[in-house]
Amino acid sequence: MKKGRIILSVVLIVLIGLGWTIQVTHSISQTRAYSTAIAEADTCRDKKLYQKAISLYDEALKIKENKNTRDKWFETCGLALEAEEITRDQYIKAMKQVVEICPKRTDLWEALIAESLNKMDFRGAKDYYEDAMRAGADKKVISKYRNTIYYSVSENNRIFSTVLMSSQGYFTVCDGTKWGILDSAGKWVCECTYDYAGPVVSNDMYLLTTLKDSKVYNSSMVAQAILAEKDITSKAIAEGVLPICKDGKWTFYDYMSEKTILDKYDDVSCFINGKAAVKNGNTWSIIDKSGKTVSDKNFDDIKLLGSGEYASNGIVIASVSGKYGIYDESGKSHCDFVAADMDIYMGEEIAYKDSNGKWGFVNNDGKTVIEPKFDEAMSFSNGLAAVRSGDKWGFIDDSGELVIDYKYSDGGYFTNNGICFVGLSDEQMHMISLRF
C-alpha cells in the first residue's frame, strides 16, 4: 500500500512537471511569436507597407494586448489613411477599437465627436459625447462640444401666422387661411385644410370646422359630435367639455349631451381636474362644473396657455392687487413668492419679472434659481427657456448659460421632442428643431 502511494506521488510530480514544462514552452513560443510579429510589422511600416504592418500588429495584439503596440497599430492606420490604403470609415472603425480598449483617450473621443459633427450626425456625436464622459475622458476638452451637440437647431419651411401650444406639446396652427394640428414631434395630426381648428390638450378630442359644420373628432379622426355653430373659436376640449366663444362671450358646451352647462363669460380656460378659470369683467376666479366658485380669492389675471390651460402640474400663475404669485389648482397660495409679472408655467422653472423690470427664474416653491438679468423671459420647457436681450430672443439652459444665440424676433417653448416655434425677421412663426 505504501509502495503504491509512492508510485502515485511520483506520477503526479512527473505530470505536474510536464504540465509546467508545456506551459513554459508555450509561453516562450508565444513570446517569440509576439516579438517576431512586432519586428516584421516595424519593418513593413518602415517600407511603407502599411496594410501588411497593420495585419502583423493585429497578430501581435491577439497574442498580448500592449499599449505601445496598440499605439503603433493606430499610428500605422493613420499612415495608411494618408497613403489612401484604407478608407476614412476604416480609420474611424480603428478609432472606435482604440477607445474601447483605452477609454480615457480624450484625443480620440474628440476626433470621433468632430467627425460626427462634420457629417451633421448630431445623434452620433451625442452618443460619443456621453460615452466619453462616462469613460473618464478630459471633461474640459469634451464639454466644449456640449452646446453644439445638444442645442444646435435646424430651421425648416414650416411657417405659420398663428401657433397655439399646449403643455403636452400639441400645436394648433394657421397658415394664414386654413388651420391644422401638429403633434409634439412636428408631425401632422391633420393638415391645414380646415376653416378653424381648436387647440389640443391631448390627442383624445379636438374641434375642426369647415364651411359646412363644426365637428368634435377623436384621435382616429372619427366624428363624435356635430355642433350647429360654425362661426366660433374655442379652447381645448377637456373632460368632455368644450369652451366656445361666439359673439364675444364664452360658454362651456358638453358635446356628449349636446348641452351648454355654463355660459356668458368674458374669457375662460379649459377644464382641468374638474375646475376651470373664468373671467367676468376684470376679475378671474376658479369654478367647478356646477359653476360654483372654489377659489378663496378673486384674481386680476390668470395666465393661460394658448390651448386654454390655466394650470400645469398643479401650478397656477395668477395676480392679486397687481402682484403675481404661485397658486394651486383651487386658487390657494402655494408659497409666499410674488413678482411684478410671471410667465405661464410649463412644468419646469418659472420666469418672473422683478421690481427693476428684469426677468429671472424661480422653481415652483418660489426659490430663485436664476437671478433676474434678462429683458424678458419665458418659462422653461424641455430644459430650455427663451430669453430676450434687446430686441432679439435666444435660449438658455437650466444653468443660465446662453446655448442658442440671440437671433429670433420672438421666443417659444420646446416640446419633449425638441420642436419649437419662434419668430424670425417677419411676423410669422417658424418651426425649429434640435438636431438630435
Q: What is the pLDDT of residues 55-111, one digit of tens each?
A: 999 898 899 888 899 999 999 999 999 999 999 999 999 999 999 999 999 999 999
Output b/e per residue, 211-233; b: 16+ Cβ within 10 A.
Answer: eeebbbbeeeeeeebebeeeebe
- 226 is written with which cell numbers? 356635430
Whether 108 is in a domain gets the answer: yes
Whether 309 is in a domain gets the answer: no
Round to whole Å and give the CA distance between 239 and 252.
Answer: 11
pLDDT over threshold 90, residue 158: no
C-beta separation of 217 from 208 below 8 A = yes
Whether 324 is in a domain gets the answer: no
Whether 57 is in a domain gets the answer: yes
Q: Output the pLDDT for position 74.
A: 92
pLDDT over threshold 70, residue 256: yes
Round to whole Å and give the CA distance between 124 and 147.
Answer: 15
Reported residue count of the chain is 436
pLDDT digit string (tens) for 4-27? 555 555 444 544 554 544 454 446
pLDDT digit string (tens) for 227-246? 877 778 999 999 999 999 98
pLDDT over threshold 70, residue 50: yes
Output b/e per residue, 41-76; b: 16+ Cβ within 10 A.
Answer: beebbeeebbebbbbbbebbbebeeeeebbebbbeb
Whether 215 is in a domain gets the answer: no
pLDDT over threshold 60, residue 267: yes
Q: Which residue bears the cell 359644420?
A: 213
Helix 67-82 and helix 88-101: axis angle, to 10°?
170
The dihedrals phi and psi of 364, each to the nearest 5 degrees, come to: -75, 0
Round to whole Å and give the CA distance between 277 and 199.
Answer: 17
pLDDT digit string (tens) for 319-340? 999 999 999 999 999 999 999 9
Q: Computed over its alpha carbons, how large is the radius of gyration of the chain?
A: 33
Q: Output the pLDDT for position 24.
A: 41
Q: Report CA dihedral (354, 360, 362, 367) to the nearest 10 degrees.
A: -70
pLDDT over threshold 90, residue 410: yes
Mean pLDDT of the chain: 91
Helix 67-82 and helix 50-63: axis angle, to 10°?
160
Mean pLDDT (whole number) for 162-186: 95
Q: Output the pLDDT for position 31.
A: 82
Q: Output the pLDDT for position 27.
A: 61
Mean pLDDT (whole number) for 391-399: 96
Q: What is the CB neighbour count within 10 angstroms for residue 77?
A: 24
pLDDT digit string (tens) for 360-378? 999 999 999 999 999 999 9
The dihedrals phi and psi of 320, each to the nearest 5 degrees, come to: -130, 125
Whether 95 is in a domain gets the answer: yes
Domain of 20 in residue numbering reads as 2-146
Q: Which residue bears the cell 440671440?
A: 406
CATH number at residue 6: 1.25.40
Tell me, what amino acid is at 42? D
Number of compact structural domains in the chain: 1
Mean pLDDT (whole number) for 267-277: 96
**What secondary structure, in 3-state letters, does 80-135 show?**
HHHCCCCCHHHHHHHHHHHHHHCCCCHHHHHHHHHHHHHCCCHHHHHHHHHHHHHH
For 287, counting Cβ atoms within 10 Å of its Cβ (0-12 exposed, 13-18 middle, 19+ buried), the class is: buried
- 157 is written with which cell numbers? 419651411
Mean pLDDT (whole number) for 37-41: 91
C-beta separation of 173 from 186 below 8 A = no
pLDDT over threshold 70, residue 204: yes
Least confident of 29-38, 159-168, 192-201, 283-292: 29-38
Whether 397 is in a domain gets the answer: no
Round to whole Å and give the CA distance between 28 and 34.
Answer: 10
Q: How confident is the model at residue 296 (pLDDT cuts 50, 70, 90)?
A: confident
- Please indicate whether residue 427 or residue 103 has the higher confidence score (pLDDT): 103
The pTM of this model reads 0.83
Whether 228 is in a domain gets the answer: no
Q: Which residue bears the cell 434687446?
A: 390
